[in-house]
Homo-oligomer: A and B are copies of this chain.
Amino acid sequence: MDLKQIIMSRYATKKFDGKKIDQKKIEELLELIRHAPSSFNIQPWKIKIITDQKLKEQLKPVSMTQDQITTSSHLLVFCANTDIMGNIDKLDAQFKASGMQDEKRAASVNMMKDAFENASEEYKLSWAQRQVYLALENALLGAKALGFDSCPMEGFDSEQYAKILNLPKHIVPTALCTVGFAADKPRPKIRFPKEDVFF
């Protein structure tokens, strides 16, 4: 399937058939997500993968009781990671391991640190959440490319998710992506006309 076909045929699946996706396919999906771009390549995200049915049942009431939670094969909880300085340090270690010249490495790391030094917690969260959506789009397109379906979801209680999943404060549940095999049918896509979007 070419990219256009993927984009045009992907849709927010409201109900899955409960069948499990092969682990090998899931691994392929995770590689597509992991290689998403992000500003400065800081990758400010962590993704919790949930397959346990009991845990899904527990999360459903704090997800507006949406059927996708329990009928999906896998529930991916896309979290923003606001420990941006921590990620920069990890990148620094990777740069070093890759043999990058010390001067270049320091310049790159300092530029990144300068950009976030005085950033408020609100800004860091908002910025990290934006990046998460780049990875989320890879998940949505990736699912279709790999032969299954997906639903991006914002209708859930982020604080309850953090509590149930026992997440530290800097890992903020931001969007869900349920994946599985559709048990519904897509409706025709409705989008604003070109002349309304581009100017």
Contact = CB atoms under 8 A, between A and B. Distances in A.
Interface residues of A, number: 61
A161 interface: no
Q: Which of A3, A6, A28, A134 has the most CB of B within 10 A?
A: A3
A9 to B, nearest CB: 10
Interface string A170-199: 000011000000000000111110101111
Interface of A is mostly: helix
A136 B138 contact: no
For the complex of A and B, the 5 pairs showing the least CB-CB separation, nearest first, are A137-B137, A133-B133, A3-B145, A126-B126, A134-B137
Interface of A: 1-4, 6-8, 10, 12, 28, 30-37, 39, 41, 43, 45-49, 87, 90-91, 94-95, 98, 122, 126, 129-134, 136-138, 140-142, 145, 152, 154, 174-175, 188-192, 194, 196-199
